[in-house]
Each structure stands twice: as C-alpha cells, then as structure tokens.
Amino acid sequence: MTSRKPIIITGAGQRLGLACAKALIAQGNEVIITYRTERKGVAELKALGAHCIQADFSSVAGVESFVSAILHQYSALGGIIHNASEWLSETEGEDSAVLMEKMWQVHVFAPYRLNLAFEPLLLAGYEVSGYADIIHMTDFVAEKGSDKHIAYAASKAGLANLTHSFSKRFAPQVKVNAIAPSLLMFNNDDDEEYRQKALSKSLLRKSPGEQEGVLAVQYILSSQYMTGRTLSLDGGRHLA
C-alpha cells in the first residue's frame, strides 16, 4: 500500500477516522483528512504529517470548497474513505425536512459529488501505482432500519447503494466497497445500563474498538479481487 498516491479520509478528527488515518500514515501512506471541528486528534495528525483540511459537508458550498482545494493541489489519488457522518434522530426535536436534508447531504450527496469530481485523480493514481479504492462507511442500520434514526438509516442505505453503482462505473481500475459497522466502541459518557443493553444485541457481546474498523480498511485496500461488496462488522447482530 505504500506505493499509493494520497488517500483521503473524510471526518478523521476523532474515533474510527482518526484511527484509520494514524494506521495508514504508519504504513507510509500520504494521508489527506477532512475535519469539521478542531480537536486533539487533528493536531496529532498534523504532527504526523497529514494534510488536514477543514470542511463542512453539511452544505453544498462546503463540499464544493473541498473539491476545489483538492483539484488545485493534487493530480492523482490512491483512494477515498468516506467516513464523515452525522448521528441525529427524529427524537431530538429537529424539523423532519431539515433532518432528512442534512442526513442526505452528508451521507449521500457529499460522497457522490466527491467520487465524480475525483474520478480523473483516482484513475491517474491507478495508472501510477496499480491501486485505487473508494470505501463507503455505511452502518448496520442501513439493512435493518431504525425507528429512532429513520433519516439517518435511510441515508446510510443510500450510501450503501452508491457502492454498487460506483463499483460498476469505476471497474476495473478502481475498487469500490463498503464497511457497515454496528457497535465498535462506546462514547465516554455512555452509562453502564446503555452499554449492557447495546452489548446484548449481538452474538459476540463485545465492543471490539476502532481497530476492528482499521483492519477492515486495510483488508479492502490490500485486496485485489473484491468490489461492490460490504464488510459487516456487527458481531453477529443480524442473528441475535
């Protein structure tokens, strides 16, 4: 993987995105990350040599600004990992139309626009190194649905469908796959009752941590014979 052109990871200021960025940098890859809010993780990635670009994908203008920045600074890419996400529910009092628009904007439009805008760069990256990938971070709920996060689940399902369409468009040069996590890690403020309830939803009854997602990313990037597929990281939750 170290012969790749730069890899973009969106929303990499914390949690899984941050872990993936650190792992890819450690393997010798040049990494570009986006972040919306300044966090400790962004400073850590800057210190490691990542190109960190502030970008807000909740608006078309924010997406276009990022597209313009990349097209002006790079002529080839080795991959895009679409990790940027919003976790909002219908129970939080936001207008339903606004909520759906925001979820669709971040989870569907932004990856759609970036994939199309950077198509020439990905193809150029493939020509140089023989590698180019797109990874969509979807979610377990894209398949099952959610009564409390309806717009979120619908938009993640839309992102999952983009995996199929773009794998057809970009074949055979660029592989396009998805990762669908369920519970990988808890937030620090999650109480014990919530943790136990969440763990009971899967057969393996554990939260494996962000490293499970990192391993999935590394597998997809190293694979030479998988496209249009989804790796499900759910601990057997679909059978529980």
- For 157-210, what is each residue's pLDDT tens digit? 999 999 999 999 999 999 999 999 988 888 777 778 878 887 788 898 888 889
**Residue recorded with tokens 């936001």:** 94
Model pLDDT, residue 84: 98
Indicate whether 2 belongs to any domain. Answer: no
Q: Domain range spanning residue 128?
A: 7-239
pLDDT digits over 60-99, tens only? 999 999 999 999 999 999 999 999 999 888 876 678 999 9
Q: Give the CA angle between residues 44, 47, 51 to the nearest 5°.
A: 95
CATH code, 101:
3.40.50.720
Indicate whether 133 belongs to any domain. Answer: yes
pLDDT band at 23; cut points 50, 70, 90 = very high
Q: Are 89 and 44 in contact (CB under 8 A)?
A: no
The whole-angstrom separation of Cα 170 and Cα 134 is: 10
Model pLDDT, residue 2: 54
- Dihedral of alpha carbons 167, 115, 155, 97, sign: negative
In 3D, which of 182, 213, 177 has the Cα closest to residue 24? 213
Residues marked active site are found at 152
Number of domains composing the chain: 1
Indicate whether 81 belongs to any domain. Answer: yes
Instruction: Give one DSSP letter per residue of 157-212, joined into a string.
Output: HHHHHHHHHHHHHHTTTSEEEEEEES-----TT--HHHHHHHHTTSSS-----HHH
The whole-angstrom separation of Cα 15 and Cα 9 is: 12
**Out of 24-28, 63-67, 119-123, 205-209, which region has the weakest mean confidence (pLDDT)?**
205-209
Indicate whether 1 belongs to any domain. Answer: no
The whole-angstrom separation of Cα 63 and Cα 71 is: 12
The tally of CA atoms less than 13 A away on the side-chain side of residue 2 is 4
Non-local (6+) Cβ contacts of 46 within 8 A are 52
**Residue recorded with tokens 């904007």:** 105
Residue 117 has pLDDT above 80, yes or no: yes
Question: Which ranges constitute the DSSP H helices of the chain?
Answer: 15-26, 40-47, 60-73, 96-104, 110-117, 119-129, 141-144, 150-170, 192-199, 210-222
Question: What is the total residue count of the chain?
Answer: 240
